[in-house]
Amino acid sequence: MTSSTAMPNLPGASAAHRPIAANTARAPRRLRGVLSLDDFETLARRHLPRPVYGYISAVAETGASFQDNRSAYADYGFRPSVMVDVSQRSTATTLYGETYAAPFGFSPLGLTALSSYRGDVVLAQAARAAAVPMIMSGSSLIPLEAVAEQHPGAWFQAYLPGDRGALEALIERVSRSAFKTLVVTVDTPVPPNSENTARMGFSAPLRPSASLAWQGLTHPRWLIGTFLRTLLRHGMPHFENNYATRGAPILSPSVLRDFSERGHLNWDDLRGIRRQWRGRLIVKGILRADDARVARDCGADGIIVSNHGGRQLDGAIAPLHALPEVVRACPEIPVMIDGGIRRGTDVLKALALGARMAFVGRPFGYAAAVGGLPAVQHGIRLLTQEISRDMAMLGVTAIDQLNAATHLARRRPAA
Protein backbone atom coordinates (compact mmCIF):
# COMPACT_ATOMS: atom_id res chain seq x y z
CA MET A 1 0.00 0.00 0.00
CA THR A 2 1.45 3.37 -0.97
CA SER A 3 0.28 6.94 -0.87
CA SER A 4 -0.07 6.89 -4.64
CA THR A 5 -3.27 4.85 -4.23
CA ALA A 6 -4.98 7.64 -2.30
CA MET A 7 -8.12 9.06 -3.83
CA PRO A 8 -7.24 12.07 -5.98
CA ASN A 9 -8.26 15.54 -4.88
CA LEU A 10 -6.75 17.82 -7.47
CA PRO A 11 -5.69 16.58 -10.91
CA GLY A 12 -2.00 16.64 -11.70
CA ALA A 13 -0.77 16.80 -8.10
CA SER A 14 1.30 14.00 -6.57
CA ALA A 15 -0.39 11.97 -3.85
CA ALA A 16 2.28 12.88 -1.31
CA HIS A 17 2.07 16.65 -1.78
CA ARG A 18 -1.45 17.21 -3.04
CA PRO A 19 -3.39 20.03 -1.34
CA ILE A 20 -6.81 18.84 -0.22
CA ALA A 21 -9.69 20.61 -1.95
CA ALA A 22 -12.19 21.89 0.61
CA ASN A 23 -15.41 20.97 -1.18
CA THR A 24 -18.13 18.33 -1.14
CA ALA A 25 -18.99 18.43 -4.84
CA ARG A 26 -17.87 14.83 -5.37
CA ALA A 27 -20.26 13.45 -2.76
CA PRO A 28 -23.52 11.79 -3.84
CA ARG A 29 -26.38 14.25 -3.84
CA ARG A 30 -27.96 12.97 -0.62
CA LEU A 31 -24.62 13.38 1.18
CA ARG A 32 -24.00 16.98 0.13
CA GLY A 33 -25.22 18.15 3.53
CA VAL A 34 -22.71 15.92 5.33
CA LEU A 35 -19.97 18.41 6.16
CA SER A 36 -18.32 16.60 9.08
CA LEU A 37 -18.16 13.10 10.52
CA ASP A 38 -20.75 13.99 13.16
CA ASP A 39 -23.35 14.56 10.44
CA PHE A 40 -23.36 10.84 9.60
CA GLU A 41 -24.76 10.01 13.03
CA THR A 42 -27.75 12.31 12.52
CA LEU A 43 -28.61 10.50 9.29
CA ALA A 44 -27.99 7.06 10.78
CA ARG A 45 -30.27 7.71 13.73
CA ARG A 46 -33.13 8.25 11.27
CA HIS A 47 -32.13 5.48 8.88
CA LEU A 48 -31.56 2.60 11.30
CA PRO A 49 -34.07 0.71 13.45
CA ARG A 50 -33.76 1.77 17.07
CA PRO A 51 -32.12 -1.47 18.29
CA VAL A 52 -29.49 -1.42 15.54
CA TYR A 53 -28.66 2.23 16.08
CA GLY A 54 -28.65 1.52 19.80
CA TYR A 55 -25.98 -1.13 19.40
CA ILE A 56 -23.60 1.17 17.51
CA SER A 57 -24.15 4.15 19.77
CA ALA A 58 -24.23 2.22 23.05
CA VAL A 59 -22.04 3.34 25.94
CA ALA A 60 -21.43 1.81 29.34
CA GLU A 61 -23.77 2.82 32.14
CA THR A 62 -23.69 6.63 32.62
CA GLY A 63 -21.57 7.31 29.54
CA ALA A 64 -18.86 9.03 31.58
CA SER A 65 -15.99 7.45 29.66
CA PHE A 66 -17.62 8.14 26.30
CA GLN A 67 -18.06 11.81 27.17
CA ASP A 68 -14.53 12.06 28.55
CA ASN A 69 -13.12 10.60 25.35
CA ARG A 70 -14.42 13.64 23.49
CA SER A 71 -13.81 16.30 26.13
CA ALA A 72 -10.18 15.22 26.61
CA TYR A 73 -9.27 16.84 23.30
CA ALA A 74 -10.42 20.20 24.63
CA ASP A 75 -7.74 19.93 27.33
CA TYR A 76 -5.14 20.91 24.74
CA GLY A 77 -4.83 24.03 22.62
CA PHE A 78 -2.63 24.61 19.58
CA ARG A 79 0.41 26.87 19.31
CA PRO A 80 0.58 27.56 15.57
CA SER A 81 3.59 28.81 13.65
CA VAL A 82 2.81 31.46 11.04
CA MET A 83 4.36 32.56 7.74
CA VAL A 84 5.43 29.01 6.94
CA ASP A 85 5.29 27.78 3.35
CA VAL A 86 2.71 24.99 3.66
CA SER A 87 1.82 24.73 -0.03
CA GLN A 88 3.51 21.33 -0.36
CA ARG A 89 2.22 19.71 2.84
CA SER A 90 1.45 16.00 2.97
CA THR A 91 -0.92 13.98 5.14
CA ALA A 92 0.97 10.76 4.36
CA THR A 93 2.48 8.75 7.18
CA THR A 94 4.52 5.56 7.44
CA LEU A 95 3.81 2.75 9.88
CA TYR A 96 5.41 -0.70 9.91
CA GLY A 97 7.02 0.05 6.58
CA GLU A 98 3.68 0.87 4.91
CA THR A 99 2.94 4.36 3.62
CA TYR A 100 -0.61 5.45 4.31
CA ALA A 101 -2.29 8.44 2.69
CA ALA A 102 -3.51 9.81 6.04
CA PRO A 103 -2.71 9.23 9.72
CA PHE A 104 -6.08 7.70 10.63
CA GLY A 105 -7.81 4.39 10.10
CA PHE A 106 -10.95 2.42 10.94
CA SER A 107 -11.37 1.00 14.43
CA PRO A 108 -12.96 -2.46 14.67
CA LEU A 109 -16.75 -2.21 14.46
CA GLY A 110 -18.87 -5.17 15.52
CA LEU A 111 -22.01 -6.21 13.61
CA THR A 112 -21.29 -3.76 10.78
CA ALA A 113 -23.09 -6.03 8.33
CA LEU A 114 -26.29 -5.63 10.37
CA SER A 115 -26.34 -1.85 9.99
CA SER A 116 -25.07 -1.74 6.38
CA TYR A 117 -25.15 -4.24 3.53
CA ARG A 118 -21.87 -6.22 3.59
CA GLY A 119 -20.54 -3.55 5.93
CA ASP A 120 -17.16 -5.14 6.68
CA VAL A 121 -16.51 -5.59 2.97
CA VAL A 122 -17.51 -1.97 2.33
CA LEU A 123 -15.05 -0.70 4.95
CA ALA A 124 -12.31 -2.96 3.59
CA GLN A 125 -12.86 -1.71 0.04
CA ALA A 126 -12.86 1.92 1.17
CA ALA A 127 -9.71 1.51 3.26
CA ARG A 128 -7.84 -0.24 0.48
CA ALA A 129 -8.82 2.36 -2.13
CA ALA A 130 -7.93 5.28 0.14
CA ALA A 131 -4.71 3.75 1.51
CA VAL A 132 -5.71 4.03 5.16
CA PRO A 133 -5.54 1.21 7.74
CA MET A 134 -8.58 -0.81 8.77
CA ILE A 135 -9.13 -3.21 11.67
CA MET A 136 -11.81 -5.84 11.11
CA SER A 137 -13.81 -6.74 14.21
CA GLY A 138 -13.91 -10.31 15.49
CA SER A 139 -17.53 -9.63 16.46
CA SER A 140 -18.59 -9.54 12.83
CA LEU A 141 -21.14 -11.23 10.60
CA ILE A 142 -19.01 -11.86 7.50
CA PRO A 143 -16.30 -14.55 7.54
CA LEU A 144 -12.86 -13.03 8.04
CA GLU A 145 -11.58 -14.86 4.95
CA ALA A 146 -14.04 -12.97 2.72
CA VAL A 147 -12.88 -9.62 4.08
CA ALA A 148 -9.20 -10.55 3.85
CA GLU A 149 -9.77 -11.39 0.19
CA GLN A 150 -11.02 -7.84 -0.39
CA HIS A 151 -8.19 -6.23 1.58
CA PRO A 152 -5.25 -8.49 2.57
CA GLY A 153 -3.50 -5.50 4.15
CA ALA A 154 -6.27 -4.98 6.70
CA TRP A 155 -5.79 -6.04 10.33
CA PHE A 156 -7.92 -8.58 12.19
CA GLN A 157 -9.05 -7.96 15.77
CA ALA A 158 -9.70 -11.00 17.95
CA TYR A 159 -11.69 -11.41 21.12
CA LEU A 160 -9.90 -14.25 22.85
CA PRO A 161 -11.97 -17.33 23.67
CA GLY A 162 -11.56 -18.37 27.28
CA ASP A 163 -10.87 -22.00 26.39
CA ARG A 164 -7.22 -22.59 25.44
CA GLY A 165 -8.08 -25.02 22.65
CA ALA A 166 -10.63 -22.64 21.15
CA LEU A 167 -8.15 -19.77 21.41
CA GLU A 168 -5.45 -21.68 19.56
CA ALA A 169 -7.93 -22.82 16.92
CA LEU A 170 -9.02 -19.24 16.27
CA ILE A 171 -5.42 -18.03 15.91
CA GLU A 172 -4.72 -20.92 13.55
CA ARG A 173 -7.74 -19.96 11.45
CA VAL A 174 -6.60 -16.34 11.18
CA SER A 175 -3.08 -17.48 10.27
CA ARG A 176 -4.48 -19.39 7.29
CA SER A 177 -6.13 -16.21 5.96
CA ALA A 178 -4.46 -13.33 4.13
CA PHE A 179 -4.35 -11.23 7.31
CA LYS A 180 -0.81 -10.57 8.52
CA THR A 181 -1.61 -8.31 11.50
CA LEU A 182 -3.48 -9.60 14.55
CA VAL A 183 -4.98 -7.15 17.04
CA VAL A 184 -5.75 -8.72 20.42
CA THR A 185 -8.31 -6.84 22.49
CA VAL A 186 -7.54 -7.20 26.21
CA ASP A 187 -10.11 -4.97 27.93
CA THR A 188 -13.07 -7.39 27.81
CA PRO A 189 -12.58 -9.94 30.63
CA VAL A 190 -16.38 -10.03 31.04
CA PRO A 191 -19.22 -8.70 28.87
CA PRO A 192 -20.15 -5.07 29.61
CA ASN A 193 -23.33 -3.99 31.33
CA SER A 194 -26.07 -4.40 28.70
CA GLU A 195 -28.36 -1.85 30.36
CA ASN A 196 -28.27 0.75 27.61
CA THR A 197 -28.50 -1.66 24.67
CA ALA A 198 -31.44 -3.34 26.41
CA ARG A 199 -33.18 0.02 26.75
CA MET A 200 -32.84 0.41 22.96
CA GLY A 201 -34.30 -3.05 22.34
CA PHE A 202 -31.06 -4.71 21.28
CA SER A 203 -29.94 -8.20 22.24
CA ALA A 204 -27.47 -10.63 20.69
CA PRO A 205 -29.05 -12.48 19.00
CA LEU A 206 -32.01 -10.25 18.30
CA ARG A 207 -35.31 -11.76 19.47
CA PRO A 208 -38.23 -11.67 17.01
CA SER A 209 -41.05 -9.56 18.40
CA ALA A 210 -43.83 -7.23 17.32
CA SER A 211 -41.69 -4.28 18.37
CA LEU A 212 -38.72 -5.47 16.30
CA ALA A 213 -40.96 -6.09 13.28
CA TRP A 214 -42.41 -2.58 13.62
CA GLN A 215 -38.92 -1.10 13.72
CA GLY A 216 -38.11 -2.87 10.46
CA LEU A 217 -41.32 -1.82 8.74
CA THR A 218 -40.88 1.82 9.77
CA HIS A 219 -37.31 1.85 8.41
CA PRO A 220 -37.91 0.43 4.90
CA ARG A 221 -34.61 1.56 3.38
CA TRP A 222 -32.71 -0.45 5.97
CA LEU A 223 -35.17 -3.35 5.86
CA ILE A 224 -35.02 -3.77 2.09
CA GLY A 225 -31.54 -2.47 1.33
CA THR A 226 -29.68 -4.19 4.16
CA PHE A 227 -31.55 -6.93 6.01
CA LEU A 228 -33.72 -8.50 3.29
CA ARG A 229 -31.00 -8.05 0.68
CA THR A 230 -28.60 -9.92 2.96
CA LEU A 231 -31.11 -12.71 3.60
CA LEU A 232 -31.81 -13.20 -0.10
CA ARG A 233 -28.18 -13.17 -1.22
CA HIS A 234 -26.29 -14.63 1.73
CA GLY A 235 -28.78 -16.20 4.13
CA MET A 236 -29.22 -15.42 7.82
CA PRO A 237 -26.13 -13.65 9.20
CA HIS A 238 -24.23 -15.43 11.95
CA PHE A 239 -21.45 -14.44 14.31
CA GLU A 240 -18.65 -15.74 12.15
CA ASN A 241 -15.34 -14.88 13.79
CA ASN A 242 -15.47 -15.14 17.56
CA TYR A 243 -14.27 -18.72 17.24
CA ALA A 244 -12.71 -20.99 14.65
CA THR A 245 -16.23 -22.18 13.81
CA ARG A 246 -19.47 -20.36 13.03
CA GLY A 247 -21.42 -18.96 15.96
CA ALA A 248 -25.02 -18.04 16.64
CA PRO A 249 -27.37 -16.38 14.10
CA ILE A 250 -28.08 -12.69 14.53
CA LEU A 251 -31.85 -13.31 14.70
CA SER A 252 -33.23 -16.17 16.77
CA PRO A 253 -36.08 -16.72 19.26
CA SER A 254 -34.11 -19.23 21.34
CA VAL A 255 -30.42 -19.54 20.42
CA LEU A 256 -27.95 -17.87 22.77
CA ARG A 257 -24.80 -16.21 21.56
CA ASP A 258 -21.80 -18.25 22.65
CA PHE A 259 -20.10 -15.73 24.94
CA SER A 260 -16.95 -17.18 26.45
CA GLU A 261 -15.83 -16.39 29.99
CA ARG A 262 -12.45 -14.67 29.70
CA GLY A 263 -11.92 -13.69 33.31
CA HIS A 264 -9.05 -16.14 33.80
CA LEU A 265 -7.01 -14.99 30.77
CA ASN A 266 -3.62 -13.50 31.65
CA TRP A 267 -0.30 -12.45 30.19
CA ASP A 268 0.77 -16.08 29.72
CA ASP A 269 -2.02 -16.39 27.17
CA LEU A 270 -0.59 -13.46 25.25
CA ARG A 271 2.84 -15.09 25.34
CA GLY A 272 1.24 -18.23 23.94
CA ILE A 273 -0.34 -16.24 21.13
CA ARG A 274 3.03 -14.67 20.37
CA ARG A 275 4.59 -18.13 20.04
CA GLN A 276 1.80 -19.30 17.72
CA TRP A 277 1.24 -16.16 15.62
CA ARG A 278 4.00 -15.45 13.10
CA GLY A 279 2.70 -12.10 11.91
CA ARG A 280 2.52 -8.66 13.49
CA LEU A 281 0.91 -8.63 16.94
CA ILE A 282 -0.81 -5.54 18.36
CA VAL A 283 -2.45 -5.26 21.77
CA LYS A 284 -5.54 -3.05 22.04
CA GLY A 285 -7.14 -1.77 25.23
CA ILE A 286 -4.13 -0.51 27.21
CA LEU A 287 -4.51 2.53 29.51
CA ARG A 288 -1.50 2.12 31.82
CA ALA A 289 2.25 2.37 31.33
CA ASP A 290 2.98 -0.80 33.32
CA ASP A 291 0.52 -2.85 31.22
CA ALA A 292 2.07 -1.42 28.06
CA ARG A 293 5.54 -2.53 29.16
CA VAL A 294 4.31 -6.05 29.95
CA ALA A 295 2.55 -6.28 26.58
CA ARG A 296 5.76 -5.19 24.86
CA ASP A 297 7.80 -7.72 26.83
CA CYS A 298 5.31 -10.45 25.84
CA GLY A 299 6.15 -9.73 22.21
CA ALA A 300 3.65 -7.08 21.14
CA ASP A 301 4.74 -5.12 18.08
CA GLY A 302 2.42 -2.23 18.89
CA ILE A 303 -0.08 -0.85 21.39
CA ILE A 304 -3.48 0.74 20.83
CA VAL A 305 -4.41 2.96 23.76
CA SER A 306 -8.17 2.54 24.10
CA ASN A 307 -11.06 2.28 26.54
CA HIS A 308 -13.23 0.49 23.96
CA GLY A 309 -15.03 3.65 22.94
CA GLY A 310 -16.52 4.00 26.41
CA ARG A 311 -18.40 0.71 26.00
CA GLN A 312 -16.70 -1.34 28.76
CA LEU A 313 -15.70 0.16 32.13
CA ASP A 314 -17.63 3.35 32.78
CA GLY A 315 -15.27 5.89 34.31
CA ALA A 316 -12.14 4.54 32.64
CA ILE A 317 -9.85 7.43 31.72
CA ALA A 318 -9.80 8.85 28.23
CA PRO A 319 -7.18 7.30 25.95
CA LEU A 320 -5.76 10.75 25.19
CA HIS A 321 -4.98 11.21 28.89
CA ALA A 322 -3.22 7.84 29.03
CA LEU A 323 -1.36 8.25 25.74
CA PRO A 324 1.73 10.25 26.86
CA GLU A 325 2.70 7.83 29.65
CA VAL A 326 2.27 4.80 27.37
CA VAL A 327 4.42 6.44 24.68
CA ARG A 328 7.13 7.15 27.26
CA ALA A 329 6.93 3.57 28.55
CA CYS A 330 7.32 1.93 25.13
CA PRO A 331 9.46 4.11 22.86
CA GLU A 332 10.62 1.03 20.93
CA ILE A 333 7.23 0.17 19.40
CA PRO A 334 4.46 2.18 17.75
CA VAL A 335 1.73 3.42 20.08
CA MET A 336 -1.65 4.18 18.52
CA ILE A 337 -4.96 5.47 19.85
CA ASP A 338 -8.72 5.26 19.41
CA GLY A 339 -11.69 6.78 21.21
CA GLY A 340 -13.52 10.06 20.72
CA ILE A 341 -11.78 11.15 17.52
CA ARG A 342 -14.12 13.11 15.29
CA ARG A 343 -12.07 15.98 13.84
CA GLY A 344 -8.79 16.62 12.09
CA THR A 345 -7.72 18.66 15.11
CA ASP A 346 -8.27 15.57 17.30
CA VAL A 347 -6.00 13.51 15.07
CA LEU A 348 -3.25 16.15 15.12
CA LYS A 349 -3.40 16.47 18.92
CA ALA A 350 -3.06 12.71 19.31
CA LEU A 351 -0.13 12.63 16.90
CA ALA A 352 1.59 15.50 18.68
CA LEU A 353 1.29 13.55 21.95
CA GLY A 354 3.08 10.60 20.39
CA ALA A 355 0.46 8.44 18.65
CA ARG A 356 1.59 6.94 15.36
CA MET A 357 -1.96 6.39 14.09
CA ALA A 358 -5.44 7.47 15.21
CA PHE A 359 -8.36 5.08 14.72
CA VAL A 360 -11.97 6.20 14.27
CA GLY A 361 -14.93 3.88 14.86
CA ARG A 362 -18.59 4.85 15.05
CA PRO A 363 -18.61 7.66 12.43
CA PHE A 364 -17.51 5.33 9.64
CA GLY A 365 -20.03 2.73 10.78
CA TYR A 366 -22.74 5.37 10.51
CA ALA A 367 -21.43 6.37 7.09
CA ALA A 368 -21.55 2.80 5.80
CA ALA A 369 -25.11 2.46 7.12
CA VAL A 370 -26.53 5.54 5.41
CA GLY A 371 -24.64 5.43 2.13
CA GLY A 372 -22.42 2.38 1.70
CA LEU A 373 -19.07 2.76 -0.03
CA PRO A 374 -19.64 6.30 -1.42
CA ALA A 375 -20.50 7.59 2.05
CA VAL A 376 -17.44 6.00 3.66
CA GLN A 377 -15.26 7.48 0.92
CA HIS A 378 -16.88 10.86 1.54
CA GLY A 379 -16.08 10.55 5.25
CA ILE A 380 -12.45 9.73 4.48
CA ARG A 381 -12.21 12.82 2.27
CA LEU A 382 -13.78 15.05 4.91
CA LEU A 383 -11.39 13.97 7.65
CA THR A 384 -8.36 14.08 5.36
CA GLN A 385 -9.33 17.58 4.24
CA GLU A 386 -9.61 18.70 7.84
CA ILE A 387 -6.19 17.27 8.70
CA SER A 388 -4.54 18.95 5.72
CA ARG A 389 -6.23 22.29 6.38
CA ASP A 390 -5.36 22.16 10.10
CA MET A 391 -1.74 21.29 9.29
CA ALA A 392 -1.54 24.40 7.13
CA MET A 393 -2.93 26.63 9.87
CA LEU A 394 -0.65 24.99 12.42
CA GLY A 395 2.38 25.63 10.22
CA VAL A 396 3.50 22.05 9.56
CA THR A 397 4.04 20.31 6.25
CA ALA A 398 4.58 16.70 7.36
CA ILE A 399 3.06 14.49 10.02
CA ASP A 400 6.39 13.71 11.65
CA GLN A 401 6.93 17.40 12.44
CA LEU A 402 4.22 17.35 15.10
CA ASN A 403 5.24 17.31 18.75
CA ALA A 404 3.64 18.40 22.00
CA ALA A 405 6.39 20.75 23.14
CA THR A 406 6.20 22.83 19.96
CA HIS A 407 2.56 22.63 18.97
CA LEU A 408 0.41 22.05 22.08
CA ALA A 409 -0.40 23.91 25.27
CA ARG A 410 -2.36 22.43 28.15
CA ARG A 411 -5.60 24.38 28.60
CA ARG A 412 -6.60 22.64 31.79
CA PRO A 413 -4.31 21.44 34.55
CA ALA A 414 -3.55 17.71 34.50
CA ALA A 415 -5.68 15.72 36.94
What pLDDT shows up at residue 23? Answer: 45
Radius of gyration, CA atoms only, the chain: 21
Segment 28-33 mean pLDDT: 85
DSSP 21: P
Binding residue per annotation — 32? no
Domain boundaries, the chain: 33-73+92-195+257-391
Binding residue per annotation — 254? no
Which of 28-42, 212-226, 314-328 is least confident?
A: 28-42
Active site residues: 308
Which of 15-29, 81-95, 175-189, 302-316 is least confident?
A: 15-29
Average pLDDT, the chain: 92
Segment 20-42 mean pLDDT: 77
What pLDDT shows up at residue 1? Answer: 36
Top-confidence residue, 191 or 155: 155
Q: What is the CATH code of the structural domain delimited by 33-73+92-195+257-391?
A: 3.20.20.70
Alpha-carbon distance of 308 to 316, in angstroms, equals 10
Task: State the alpha helices, DSSP H only, in 78-140.
Answer: 112-115, 119-130
What pLDDT shows up at residue 414? Answer: 61
- The 10 Å CB-count burial string (b at 16+, else e) for 239-275 is bbbbbbeebbbbbbeeeebeeeebeebeeebbeebbe
Judge whether residue 29 has pLDDT over 90.
no
Binding residue per annotation — 157? yes
Judge whether residue 260 has pLDDT over 50.
yes
What pLDDT shows up at residue 10? Answer: 30
Q: Express each pLDDT in 33-88 by its tens digit.
A: 999 999 999 999 999 999 999 999 999 999 999 999 999 999 999 999 999 999 99
Binding residue per annotation — 55? yes
Helix/strand/coil for 98: strand
pLDDT above 90 as % of the chain? 86
Q: What are the phi and psi torsion angles at 347 (to 5°)?
A: -60, -45
What pLDDT shows up at residue 13? Answer: 33
Binding residue per annotation — 185? yes
Segment 109-135 mean pLDDT: 98
Judge whether residue 15 has pLDDT over 90.
no
| pTM across the whole model | 0.92
Judge whether residue 16 has pLDDT over 90.
no
- At residue 22 the predicted structure's pLDDT band, cuts being 50, 70 and 90, is very low
Segment 384-397 mean pLDDT: 98
Which of 245-254, 273-282, 400-409 is least confident?
A: 245-254
Top-confidence residue, 72 or 25: 72
Phi and psi based region of residue 75 (left: phi greater than 0; alpha: psi -120 to 50; beta: remaining):
alpha
- At residue 380 the predicted structure's pLDDT band, cuts being 50, 70 and 90, is very high
